[in-house]
Structures are given as structure tokens and as C-alpha cells.
Amino acid sequence: MRAPAALPLTSSGPQAPSAQKSGARPSTPVVPTAPASDPVAEKLASEGLALTGTLLGHSVTFVVSAAATVILLYFLLASEHWMLSRIVEAVPRRRARALF
């Protein structure tokens, strides 16, 4: 079997040779075919999404860690006098250390 001859392409799409001469359009609309998918473009798009997700995940982790650090530092500095007095009470006196 022979394959049918390809129809010539024009700016308005493929047309039959007789329709090309008379200027008439074909009776059925021509649906353009999707361009062949580019594997490199698909890989770049998927890696771009993965990179974006990774950056957002790390950014959220950094912000949460920074906020926790600031809150803990505030309470540590706010309780300075209380903590200092507890440390002084916990450290034994010279005479008490000499007995050990």
C-alpha cells in the first residue's frame, strides 16, 4: 500500500490542491497538532519546581529556627538576675569545697 501524498501547507493550514487554486477553504476545520515535546525543556521545568520547593522548605525551616532562637534569647536575658542567683547558690563555698 502506498501512503497518500502529503497536502501542501499554506498560511491558513493544509488545503487540497483544487481548493488551493480556487482560494476556497476546506469544509472541515484543521486542528493543529501539538509540537513534539522537548525532553530537555520538560526536565528543566520539573527540576525548577523541585528547586523552588526545596528553597521554600529550607526558608521556612530557617525562619522558624531564627524565631525560636530570638524567643529563647529573650527569656534567657530577661531571667538573668534569677539565673545568676541560682548559679551562686548552686556553687559551693570555699570552705565547703575544702571538706571534700
Digit-coded pLDDT (tens) for 16-46: 555 455 555 556 766 666 566 778 777 777 7
Q: pLDDT at residue 12 above 70?
A: no
- Average pLDDT in the 50-63 region? 91
- The percent of residues above 90 in pLDDT, for the chain, comes to 20
Q: Give the containing element (helix H, strand E) for 10.
A: strand 9-10
The secondary structure of 23-61 as a DSSP string is TPPPSSPPPPPPPPP-HHHHHHHHHHHHHHHHHHHHHHH
Helix/strand/coil for 14: strand
Q: Does the structure show a pLDDT above 80 at 77?
A: yes
What pLDDT does 36 receive? 66
Through-space distance between the first and last CA atoms of the chain, rounded to whole angstroms: 108
What average pLDDT is seen over the chain? 74
